Chains A and B, each alone.
Chain A
Amino acid sequence: MRIVVAFKWAADYQEASVNGSGEVDWSRARPVVSSYDAVAIEVARQIADAVSGEVIGLSVIGEPTVPSMATKTALARGLDRVVVVADETLNNASTTQTGEVLSRAIRQIGDVDLVLAGDSSIDVAAKMVSSIAAGFLGWPAFTDVGNVNVTHGSGVELTRPTAVGSETFTVTRPTVVALTADAVVARVPGMKDILAAGKKPVEQLSLASLGDLESVPYTVRGTSRPSHGARLQKVIDATDTSAAVKQLAGILRDAGVS
C-alpha cells in the first residue's frame, strides 16, 4: 500500500509581524513541518507498519532549492522518502495552485492508494488544499477525520465527528483524507531518526514536468491592518475582587447583557 502525506514546510503566523499597512514580515518566523501534517505523517507511519506499506512525503515549496531542513525534519518523523516540487514561481502559490500541483505530483508518483493531509496549515490555514487536490484528482476527500483503519480489504475505514456524535464509514481506495490535530500524538524524532533521515531518498520534481497548470491567477491590490483593534481595551484592576466584579456586573447591566 502506497501512502502519500502532503506536508507543508511553513512558519506559524503567530511568529510573523504585521506592519501598519497590513504587510506581513515572515523573516523572523522559523519554518516547521506544519503541526497537523506531523500528525498525518504519524498516522501514515502506523498504517504502513501494520500493512507493510510505503509512506511518501510530498511538499510544494516556493523556493528554487529544497531546504534540507524541510526534508530532513519530515523524514525523521517516519517517512520512507520525500518528493518535493520546489519552484520560485510557487512562492505565495494560491491554495488552488497548491492543490493542483499536489494532484499532478500524486499522479506522477503513481499507484497511490491513500493521500493523507492535515486539516489546516499553520500559515494560510484555509483548510481547503486537500479537498481541492482531491477535486483535481477526481477522488473523494474527507476532512476532520480522527481515525483511519485500513484492515478492511480494498477499503479504508474512517471515523469523524458529526454535529451529534460521530460517524464511521468505509471508502474504497484511492481517497484523500485530512486529519484532525488529535488523531494521534506525533512522535518526537530522536537522534537515531534524525541521523537515518539524512540517508533517505529525496526526489525533486520540476514544475515544468507536471505540465501547464489550469488554476486561474489573481492579483493582490492591497493589504490593510484588520480593524478589530477597535476594542475599548480597558483594564479593571482586580486586586479587590468584590469591587472589580461589582464594576463588571454594572458594565454588563448597562450593556444590557446580564
Chain B
Amino acid sequence: MAADTWIIVAGQPGVKNLIEIARGLTGQVRALVVGTEDVADTIAAAGVDEVVWVRPDPDIPLEAYATTVQSVVQDNPGVLIGGRNPAERVLFGAAVATLGAPVFTGVSSVAADGDDVVVKHAAFGGITEQTVVISGPVGLVVDGGGLPEPGIAVAIEEIAAEAMNDVRVVGRSESTDEHADLASAARVIGVGRGLKKEEDLALIEELAQALKAEIGCTRPLAEGLDWLGRDRYIGISGAHIAPKLYLAVGVSGQLQHIDGVRGADLIVSINSDPRAPMTAEADYSLIGDLYKLVPALTSALSGR
C-alpha cells in the first residue's frame, strides 16, 4: 500500500517524531491540525505535504472535534499517527475507529514492505518488542519529540469546525507551580518513594541546583502523595524523557517507570536495595542510603 499518512495534531505543535516516522514511509504526509493558527503555521513549515486545519472555539475542549477529524480521514485509509497527550489520543482514537485500524504504541520503527506496513513496537509496557505486519490502515502512537525544524511552509486548508454534543469549559485554574519541562532537560533527577517525607524534597532541590537538573519523580509521588506536580512524573503514563543524565534517587525501577527513561544517555541510581530492578536498568548504581549520599553528592558537586 503506497499509503498516505495523516498526522493528527491536537493543540500543540511538538510533533517532530511523528513527522520523522511518517517520512520513513512512502506516500504523502498530511497533517490534520486541531488547534490555534500558530500551531497550524508551525506544522505547515514542518516538512509535511499538506495541512488541513480545524480552528477550535477556545472555550470548547479539542476532543469535541472528534467527528470533524473522522470526516477528514474516512476516505483515506492509510497510516494514522498521533501523539500521547490526552486530546491527541482522543482525536487519534476517533480517526482510528473510522478506519478500523489496529493501533500500536511505543513504536520504534515503521517501514513499507510491498503493500504491507511493518511496525516494530514495545508491547505490554515494554517487556517485549513485537514486529507486526498490517495490510490495511494502521494507527501509530508516537512520542512527540519536541518542535519540528522550521522549513518552507505549505498552504493551509481551513475546514469548518463542528463540535459534538454541547461541550463547554466552565472554569480554568492555573497552578502556581512552575511548569516542568522534563522532555528538553539535559539532566533530570527522578525521585521515588525512597524519600520519606515531603520536606525531604529540599535535599533533592539542593542536588538539582548543584547539577543544574530538573526534578522529576515516580507516579506515586505525583498521583497519590501529591508532593510534585503531575507534569513531573516519568514513565509509561507520564513524561518520556531523553536527557544526557538521569539520576534516579530512591526509585525501585518498575517497568512502567523505566519506560519513560529509556532514551537517557547515562542512567545512575541511588538505592539502598541492591536487588532493586533499578540496578539492572542503570549504568552506575550507588547502593546506600539516599539521606547520606544525596547531601554528600551535593557538596562534592558544588565544592569544585
Contacts and interface: CB of A to CB of B under 8 A. Distances in A.
A204 interface: no
B231 interface: yes
Nearest to B167: A171
A228 B100 contact: no
A60 to B, nearest CB: 15
A100 B94 CA distance: 11
A181 B139 contact: no
A169 B103 contact: no
Interface string B243-265: 01100000000111010001001
19 contacts: A18-B127, A24-B124, A100-B100, A125-B236, A126-B105, A127-B105, A128-B93, A138-B70, A141-B93, A161-B231, A164-B179, A165-B172, A167-B171, A172-B167, A215-B102, A237-B287, A238-B288, A244-B288, A248-B297
Nearest to B84: A127
Contacts of B175: 164-166
B209 to A, nearest CB: 12
B282 to A, nearest CB: 6
A67 interface: no
Interface in B134-183: 134, 136-139, 141, 164-175, 179
A156 to B, nearest CB: 10
Contact of A216 (B136, B171, B262, B279): B136
Interface in B199-245: 211, 219, 223-224, 230-231, 236-237, 244-245
B170 A169 contact: yes
A226 B263 CA distance: 13
A55 to B, nearest CB: 22
Q: How large is the interface on B (under 10, 10 to 19, 20 to 34, 35 or more residues)?
A: 35 or more
A138 B67 contact: yes
Given A141-B94, A256-B244, 14 more contacts: A94-B103, A96-B103, A124-B124, A131-B90, A140-B63, A140-B164, A169-B61, A182-B224, A216-B102, A216-B136, A226-B128, A231-B281, A235-B285, A257-B266
A111 interface: no
B244 A255 contact: yes
B293 interface: yes
Contact of B174 (A142, A165, A246): A165
A99 interface: yes
Interface string A211-234: 001111111111111101101111
Contacts of B129: 22, 223-226
B48 interface: no
A226 B130 contact: no
Nearest to B187: A257
A110 B297 CA distance: 61
B32 interface: no
A48 to B, nearest CB: 21
Interface in A40-77: none
B132 A220 contact: yes
A34 interface: no
Top 3 nearest A-B pairs (CB, nearest first) are A131-B93, A135-B97, A238-B288
Contacts of A163: 179, 231
A253 B125 CA distance: 33
B81 interface: no
A135 B223 contact: no
A226 B279 CA distance: 17
Given A155-B166, A182-B223, A182-B224, A223 B130 contact: yes
B131 A99 contact: no
Contact of A168 (B170, B186, B244): B170
B72 interface: no
A113 interface: no
A128 B64 contact: no
Nearest to B262: A228
B2 interface: no
Contacts of A226: 122, 126-129
B96 A248 contact: no
Interface string B90-127: 10111111111111010000000000001000111111
Contacts of B132: 218-221
Given A126-B141, A134-B93, A231-B281, A217 B102 contact: yes
Contact of A238 (B134, B173, B255, B293): B293
Contacts of A138: 67, 70, 164
Contacts of B67: 138
Nearest to A242: B296
B81 to A, nearest CB: 13
Contacts of A213: 100
B267 interface: yes
Nearest to A99: B97
B286 interface: yes
A120 to B, nearest CB: 6
